[in-house]
Amino acid sequence: MPIREATEADTDDIVRLIRALADFEDMADEVSLDPASVARHLFGPKPAAQVLIATEDDATVAGFALWYPTYSTFLGRPGIWLEDLFVDPEHRGRGHGSHLLQWLRDATDGRVEWSVLDWNEAAVDFYESLGARPVPGWTRYRWLPGTG
């Protein structure tokens, strides 16, 4: 399963996959990204995140993982926050998601963490089949611009 680091030439595919993910999560009305801004933030002089691309036959973009480094003060080592993982429905069941996650697991000896929507039972089952477990006792907060 070919996994590669994204380049600026992948911006249109990344935007397409983000929109497909938002549609899948019934959150398309929250997407307000601009492809030029995405390219600047991912491939400019100070990238905010990194992207992995899963391909079929080294050409067809099947999915992506958008992630950024974190640091655990308790472990005293870096880790990874997986912001988004998405594989196009027509490419699912072929190992793309597993390969993207394994690439991230191999990239750090620290934690790999992410959030999953509680209604997404297929994703929960998939993550648990890999040995991942939910973190009990934590509630996720979000502070949006202009709200305080």
CATH number at residue 52: 3.40.630.30
Looking at residue 59, its pLDDT comes to 85
Mean pLDDT score of the chain = 95
Confidence check: pLDDT of 139 > 90: no
Taking the C-alpha atoms of residue 51 and residue 65, their distance in angstroms, rounded to an integer, is 6
Instruction: Give the other-Cβ count within 10 Å of 127's Cβ.
Output: 18
Give domain status of residue 142, yes or no.
no
10 is in which domain, residue-wise? 3-129
Of 68, 71, 127, 141, the active-site residue reads: 127
Q: Is 67 exposed, middle or buried (0-12, 13-18, 19+ CB in 10 A)?
A: buried
Is the pLDDT reported for residue 6 higher than 80? Answer: yes
pLDDT at res. 1: 65
Structure confidence at residue 144 (pLDDT) = 83
User: Per-residue pLDDT for 58 more than 90?
Assistant: no
- Number of domains forming the structure of the chain: 1
Show the CA angle centred on residue 7, arms to residues 68 and 109, nearest 5°.
Answer: 30
Helix (H) or strand (E) holding 140: none
In a domain, 134, yes or no: no
Contact criterion met (CB below 8 Å) for 20 and 88 = yes
pLDDT at 148 over 90: no
Active site residue 141: no
Confidence of residue 147 (pLDDT cuts 50, 70, 90): confident
Per-residue pLDDT, averaged over 98-118, amounts to: 96
